[in-house]
Amino acid sequence: MEKTFNDFFEKLKKRFSKSDIAKISEDCIRYDYFTSLCSNSNIESSDIILECPYKKSKIDCFIESKSEAIEFKFFRPYGNTSIAQTRQLGNLVKDFYKLLSFQKNHKQRVEIIKIIVVANKEMTNYINKKLHMFDDYVEQIINVSENVLNQQEKTFQDNIKPYLNQELNIERIFCRKLAKDGEEYAVAIFNVLFK
């Protein structure tokens, strides 16, 4: 997978160097990953289901041949950062639990769960205050339950109540930085580990 991750990073670096940040969407990041995945592994594009339907939501990607579910997050600068950052962190944590639900309830066995995050420096700093996902010195496995869930507002905890008894850890397996218009972005890939 290291070859796939490095190729994905190089594709993103090229995209970021050529495009205005406003023209880069989460879909662009997904497609760069899918292209790298298909060209650096034995996975065929026909094995990949984009926007895999699940309950009232969708999983960004499900790779049938590997029984792997993937969510993508792209955090770029916003105007009102304090509100946006809180909401974005909440959406990231909700995706962790959406993947848990998918893994437990999908008709086909789901063995691997990943989240791929591309985030600007301001957002990586904000996430690091809660989870330390991008710290260079941090242990590779981070317990999300201990670091975030106990500190969240009651409505947030109510939304994920079915999973609160599940221990949730994430393992950073790739993290590199790139620059765009003087702004630093982290490109990170995490395995999501449930007990």
3-state secondary structure of 81: helix
Better-predicted residue by pLDDT, 50 or 129: 50
Interatomic CA distance for residues 64 and 100, integer angstroms = 17
Better-predicted residue by pLDDT, 167 or 2: 2
- Residues 91-101: pLDDT tens digits? 888 888 788 88
Q: Which residue, among 146, 140, 81, 71, has the nearest Cα to 101 in the 3D structure?
A: 71
| Angle, vertex CA 88, rays to CA 85 and CA 91, nearest 5 | 155
DSSP string computed for 126-173: HHHHHT-SS-SSS-SEEEHHHHTGGGS-HHHHHHTGGGTTS-EEEEEE
pLDDT at 109 over 50: yes
Better-predicted residue by pLDDT, 78 or 192: 192
Residue 105: the pLDDT is: 75
Better-predicted residue by pLDDT, 103 or 153: 103
Distances in Å between the alpha carbon of 66 and those of 44, 48, 51, 99? Answer: 11, 10, 17, 15
| Tokens at 15, concatenated | 């995209």
pTM over 0.95: no
